[in-house]
Amino acid sequence: MAVETANGDTCNFKDHSSKYNPAFKKSLLIQGVLAILTLLILDFGQTHRAFWVAFLCQWATVSLLLLRRPSNPSRLDLLIVRYGIVPILILIVCAGPWLLRILGLQA
């Protein structure tokens, strides 16, 4: 799938730096472990649903990073790809109920 970037170039998601590959593998390993751990928490699936929200947010962030710098990732980009789901999950688990209460979606 080719996407046009802000400066008019076309970017294919397959055309990325090989530096991303170990980060992708580490990220998928961490996400797999977190998926299993959140399944084991006995809270009627609330934490596991929060995991899936964090999972989608993480990969949306990674796709934006790939569009922004596909061939030359910075150290921060690789760090976000590897470990970005951990702070996102913590933020969603901690702030999610508070935000739902403010929006009036949870009593």
- 6-9-10-14 Cα dihedral, nearest 10 degrees: -100
- Please give the pLDDT value at position 74: 94
Q: From residue 98, how far is each of 33, 82, 107 by CA, in Å?
A: 26, 28, 11
- Please give the pLDDT value at position 2: 61
- Please give the pLDDT value at position 40: 96
Identify the three-state secondary structure at position 3.
strand
Q: From residue 73, how far is each of 58, 84, 90, 91, 94 by CA, in Å?
A: 16, 15, 25, 25, 30
Mean pLDDT for back-to-back runs of 10 residues, the chain (107 residues): 62 78 96 97 93 96 92 94 96 90 81
- Please give the pLDDT value at position 58: 97
Query: Which residues, in sequence order, are CB contacts of 75 under 8 Å at separation 6+?
Result: none
Reported as type and span, the H/E element at residue 61 is helix 46-68
Q: Which two tokens stand for residue 83?
A: 């470990």
- Residue carrying structure tokens 């970005």: 84
Question: Domain residue spans in the chain?
Answer: 19-103
